[in-house]
């Protein structure tokens, strides 16, 4: 019980933390909106007063034969009261309209900004985080949970603040009309509090489960649909449908549970209110009969009672939705609390135009589990030099590239470009001067042209074609149904791996950036595609400082220099000729691959 109420409070606190920085720019608007709210509440509190006046001073007085008020006066009072009723209602309506519009405006602004920030934050998080998370769940947090937060803030939390103020106002007036009767009416509050806190805890739990279930639902759908080909070829449709259906059913059950709990709370509150009203009516009638209270007083008191209790009903009604929003805020906060793998120094400046001198000086690095991946690596690459990095899987080759593009920072030692520690520059300004081709490269759902020119949207058709030719991609692009205008990726023509690779190389050659990082571009390609990609890489890397991680010895052999990495250390460093003469690890790798290729070609010819 204790821990549940703690988690409830914690959710409120976290929602507050999440929203406070975004609300503060709008504090003046919010203050005005709150003033409108306050004025509207005051008007709501005085609304029944004309009724009491008419009852006591016009109707009851004339019925009991009291002619203190002349008939004309009575009419005048009636008219004034009638006008007052309309006026109060009109002004209140205007105030509430203004408040609603202003709150909705702020709510939308806040969520839009928050969403953009959360999205940017997600993009800055490390691959390790993204490997752990499910894309569908993140999308739900970004879209569903944030919308829920906004809707509930506008349609539930603010009305509840208003309700609380109304409740306090009404209570004061009730106490003022009749102290004892007021106390009887107010005695319902503790009972309500008891019912509500118990109920809302359970609702909160159920709502939280439901939100994460919806995340799982979206993730399952996303994963199976994005791999629909594999799913179909392996006949996994049933299995995914079952998983999806299972999540869906559980989500439905939790949804029903939330609604059931909220409905139960609402009905409990109704009964409590009926009970309180009965006691008040009973006792109030006795006061009137005893002459301690006027009829108008009792009628107005009952009117206040009804209005004063409405917030309690609202609270019961909104608890379910507020719980869902709190759960959503929790889930958004979980994302924001993730720290990116690298953080920028406060005094970081934009890097100047780089020449491309890259140096690793005694660099040691381990991922979060702290098992060292690189230990005291040192090497230097001259501007324009082409260096291949070879070694077994898991030797730490990709890690070297990650450090050079600041996907991670070294634990010890320094990575320098043009003699400067790259940590003194902004991350963006370094990455903007590097082209990267990886093992798997994204093909975006757009035209071939836009895919190539994605980093250079203003590029001319000639530039795009030149890059495509250099990357040996032009030939296959021309054969596509609409050439460079063919839509590829998720919604269009699918590319083979080799084609996607060459597209990525074309993308990397769009701008002659000083540093070119290539990670195993030929893995999984057939010989023909492999040759094309190797050729593309060699052309694209001309005149640029290039680090090529590769298993493909033909590519390595063409580099100016080769680094052989083993167990996080560089064991050989030299040109192809030097290393072949050394008869070391590189020579062995090279020979074994040559033999394999030869056997392969003989087999093809037979």
Closer residue to ligand ADP (CB): 166 or 565? 565
Closer residue to Mg ion (CB): 186 or 438? 438
Q: Interface with ligand ADP by CB under 6 A: which range of 53-61, 86-94, 155-163, 391-399?
A: 391-399
* Dihedral angle sign, alpha carbons of residues 103, 106, 109, 113: negative
- Is position 274 an interface residue for ligand ADP (rule: CB under 6 A)? no
Cα separation of 241 and 221, whole Å? 9
Take residue 568 and report the two structure tokens written for it: 């996080």
- Is position 256 an interface residue for ligand ADP (rule: CB under 6 A)? no
- Is position 393 an interface residue for ligand ADP (rule: CB under 6 A)? yes
> How distant, in Å, are the alpha carbons of 108, 454, 455 from that of 465?
44, 14, 15
Q: Is 417 helix (H, G, I), strand (E, B) or coil?
A: strand
Cα separation of 213 and 331, whole Å? 12
Q: Which of 8, 205, 220, 398 binds ligand ADP (CB under 6 A)?
A: 398
Cα separation of 406 and 440, whole Å? 19
Instruction: Please name the residue that has the structure tokens 């063919």.
Output: 486
Closer residue to Mg ion (CB): 114 or 389? 389
Closer residue to ligand ADP (CB): 94 or 128? 128
Q: Report in angstroms how near the CB of residue 437 gets to ligand ADP at its nearest.
A: 14
Q: How many residues does the chain have?
A: 606
- Residues 419-458 binding ligand ADP (CB under 6 A) are none
Closer residue to ligand ADP (CB): 11 or 398? 398
Q: Report in angstroms how near the CB of residue 587 gets to ligand ADP at its nearest.
A: 20
Q: Interface with ligand ADP by CB under 6 A: which range of 17-25, 38-46, 396-404, 469-477?
A: 396-404
Closer residue to ligand ADP (CB): 25 or 394? 394
Closer residue to ligand ADP (CB): 312 or 415? 415
Closest of 518, 524, 485 to residue 504, by C-alpha: 518
The CB-based long-range contact list for 290-295 (8 Å cut-off, 24+ gap) reads 292/178, 293/178, 293/181, 294/55, 294/56, 294/60, 295/55, 295/56, 295/60
Take residue 77 and report the two structure tokens written for it: 């009072």
Partner that binds at residue 373, options ligand ADP, Mg ion, none, CB closer than 5 to 8 Å by kind: ligand ADP
Partner that binds at residue 367, options ligand ADP, Mg ion, none, CB closer than 5 to 8 Å by kind: ligand ADP
Take residue 474 and report the two structure tokens written for it: 């032009």
Q: Report in angstroms how near the CB of residue 407 gets to Mg ion at its nearest.
A: 12
- The DSSP bridge partners found for residue 388 are 548, 562
Partner that binds at residue 576, options ligand ADP, Mg ion, none, CB closer than 5 to 8 Å by kind: none
Q: Report in angstroms how near the CB of residue 390 gets to Mg ion at its nearest.
A: 11
Closer residue to ligand ADP (CB): 368 or 604? 368
Q: What's the DSSP call for residue 483?
A: G
Closer residue to ligand ADP (CB): 301 or 590? 590
Backbone angles phi, psi at 237, to 5 degrees: -55, -45
Closer residue to ligand ADP (CB): 439 or 446? 439
Do 51 and 300 meet the contact criterion of CB atoms below 8 Å apart?
yes
**Contacting residues toward Mg ion, per CB under 5 A:** 398
Closer residue to ligand ADP (CB): 303 or 438? 438
Q: Report in angstroms how near the CB of residue 561 gets to Mg ion at its nearest.
A: 19
- Is position 394 an interface residue for ligand ADP (rule: CB under 6 A)? yes
Q: Interface with ligand ADP by CB under 6 A: which range of 41-49, 112-120, 325-333, 392-400?
A: 392-400
Cα separation of 504 and 545, whole Å? 18
Q: Report in angstroms how near the CB of residue 399 gets to ligand ADP at its nearest.
A: 3
Partner that binds at residue 105, options ligand ADP, Mg ion, none, CB closer than 5 to 8 Å by kind: none
Q: Going by C-beta distance under 8 Å and a sequence separation of 6 or more, which residues neighbour residue 124?
A: 340
- Residues 113-152 binding ligand ADP (CB under 6 A) are 127-128
Do 355 and 383 meet the contact criterion of CB atoms below 8 Å apart?
yes
- Is position 320 an interface residue for ligand ADP (rule: CB under 6 A)? no
Do 38 and 99 meet the contact criterion of CB atoms below 8 Å apart?
no
- Is position 396 an interface residue for ligand ADP (rule: CB under 6 A)? yes
Q: Report in angstroms how near the CB of residue 408 gets to ligand ADP at its nearest.
A: 8
Closest of 367, 273, 392, 320 to residue 156, by C-alpha: 320
Q: Report in angstroms how near the CB of residue 126 gets to ligand ADP at its nearest.
A: 7
Q: What is the DSSP string of 224-282?
A: HHHTHHHHHHTT-HHHHHHHHHHHHHHHHHHHHHHHHHHHHHHHHHHHHHHHHHHHHHH
Partner that binds at residue 128, options ligand ADP, Mg ion, none, CB closer than 5 to 8 Å by kind: ligand ADP
Closer residue to Mg ion (CB): 201 or 397? 397
Q: Interface with ligand ADP by CB under 6 A: which range of 68-76, 147-155, 158-166, 388-396?
A: 388-396
- Using CB under 6 A, count the residues that bind ligand ADP: 12
Take residue 233 and report the two structure tokens written for it: 């070829």
- Residues 219-248 binding ligand ADP (CB under 6 A) are none
Which x/- pattern over 346-375 shows residues binding ligand ADP (rule: CB under 6 A)? ---------------------x-----x--
Residue closest to Mg ion, measured at CB: 398
Q: Report in angstroms how near the CB of residue 235 gets to ligand ADP at its nearest.
A: 32
Cα separation of 135 and 443, whole Å? 17
Cα separation of 403 and 421, whole Å? 12
Please measure the distance between the N-terminal and C-terminal CA atoms of the chain and give it in whole angstroms. Answer: 77
Partner that binds at residue 325, options ligand ADP, Mg ion, none, CB closer than 5 to 8 Å by kind: none
- Is position 524 an interface residue for ligand ADP (rule: CB under 6 A)? no
> How distant, in Å, are the alpha carbons of 158, 320, 396, 582 from that of 333?
21, 20, 33, 56
Q: Which of 36, 43, 395, 589 binds ligand ADP (CB under 6 A)?
A: 395
Closer residue to Mg ion (CB): 398 or 447? 398
Partner that binds at residue 524, options ligand ADP, Mg ion, none, CB closer than 5 to 8 Å by kind: none
Q: In what order do the strands lie in the sheet with 358-366?
A: 372-381, 358-366, 412-417, 420-421
> How distant, in Å, are the alpha carbons of 204, 262, 320, 451 from that of 198?
10, 11, 13, 56
Instruction: Please name the residue that has the structure tokens 């074309």.
Output: 506
Cα separation of 489 and 52, whole Å? 72
Closer residue to ligand ADP (CB): 37 or 395? 395
> How distant, in Å, are the alpha carbons of 163, 182, 251, 297, 299 from that of 177?
21, 8, 49, 7, 11
Q: In the complex, which residues of this chain contact ligand ADP (CB under 6 A)?
A: 127-128, 367, 373, 391, 393-399
């Amino acid at each position: 019980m204790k821990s549940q109420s703690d988690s409830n409070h914690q959710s409120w606190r976290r929602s507050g933390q999440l929203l406070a920085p975004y609300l503060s720019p709008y504090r003046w608007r919010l203050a005005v909106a709150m003033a409108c709210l306050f004025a509207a509440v005051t008007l709501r509190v005085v609304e029944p007063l004309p009724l009491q006046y008419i009852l006591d001073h016009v109707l009851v007085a004339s019925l009991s034969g009291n002619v203190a008020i002349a008939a004309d006066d009575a009419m005048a009072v009636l008219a004034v009261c009638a006008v007052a009723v309309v006026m109060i209602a009109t002004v209140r309506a205007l105030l509430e309209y203004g408040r609603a519009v202003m709150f909705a405006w702020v709510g939308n602004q806040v969520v839009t900004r928050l969403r953009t920030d959360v999205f940017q934050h997600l993009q800055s998080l490390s691959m390790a985080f993204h490997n752990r998370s499910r894309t569908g769940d993140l999308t739900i947090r970004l879209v569903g949970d944030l919308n829920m937060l906004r809707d509930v803030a506008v349609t539930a939390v603010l009305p509840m603040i208003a309700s609380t103020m109304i409740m306090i106002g009404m209570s004061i007036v009730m106490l003022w009309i009749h102290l004892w009767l007021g106390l009887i009416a107010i005695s319902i509050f503790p009972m309500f509090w008891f019912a509500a806190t118990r109920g809302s805890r359970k609702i909160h739990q159920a709502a939280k489960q439901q939100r994460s279930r919806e995340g799982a639902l979206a993730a399952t759908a996303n994963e199976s649909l994005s791999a629909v080909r594999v799913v179909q070829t392996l006949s996994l449709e049933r299995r995914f449908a079952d998983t999806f259906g299972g999540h869906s059913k559980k989500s439905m059950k939790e949804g029903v549970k939330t609604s059931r709990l909220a409905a139960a709370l609402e009905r409990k509150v109704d009964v409590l209110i009926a009970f309180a009203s009965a006691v008040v009516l009973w006792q109030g009638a006795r006061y009137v009969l005893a002459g301690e209270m006027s009829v108008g007083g009792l009628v107005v008191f009952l009117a206040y009672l009804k209005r004063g209790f409405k917030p309690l009903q609202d609270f019961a009604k909104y608890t379910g939705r507020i719980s869902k929003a709190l759960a959503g805020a929790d889930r958004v906060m979980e994302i924001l609390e993730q720290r990116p793998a690298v953080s920028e120094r406060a005094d970081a400046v934009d890097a100047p135009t780089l020449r491309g001198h890259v140096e690793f000086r005694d660099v040691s690095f381990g991922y979060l589990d702290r098992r060292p991946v690189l230990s005291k690596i040192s090497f230097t690459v001259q501007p324009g030099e082409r260096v291949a990095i070879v070694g077994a899987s898991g030797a730490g080759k990709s890690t070297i590239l990650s450090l050079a593009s600041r996907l991670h920072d070294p634990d010890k030692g320094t990575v320098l470009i043009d003699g400067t520690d790259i940590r003194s520059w902004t991350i963006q300004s370094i990455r903007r001067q590097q082209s990267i081709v990886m093992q798997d490269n994204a093909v975006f759902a757009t035209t071939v042209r836009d895919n190539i020119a994605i980093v250079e949207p203003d590029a001319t058709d000639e530039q795009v074609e030149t890059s495509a030719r250099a990357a040996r991609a032009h030939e296959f692009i021309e054969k596509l149904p609409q050439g460079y205008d063919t839509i590829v990726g998720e919604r269009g023509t699918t590319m083979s791996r080799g084609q996607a690779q060459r597209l990525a190389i074309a993308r990397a050659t769009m701008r002659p950036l000083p540093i070119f990082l290539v990670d195993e571009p030929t893995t999984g390609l057939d010989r023909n595609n492999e040759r094309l990609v190797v050729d593309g890489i060699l052309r694209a890397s001309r005149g640029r400082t290039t680090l090529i991680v590769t298993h493909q010895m033909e590519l390595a052999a063409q580099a100016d220099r080769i680094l052989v990495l083993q167990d996080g250390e560089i064991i050989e460093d030299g040109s192809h000729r030097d290393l072949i003469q050394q008869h070391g690890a590189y020579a062995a790798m090279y020979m074994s691959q040559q033999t394999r290729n030869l056997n392969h070609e003989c087999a093809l010819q037979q």
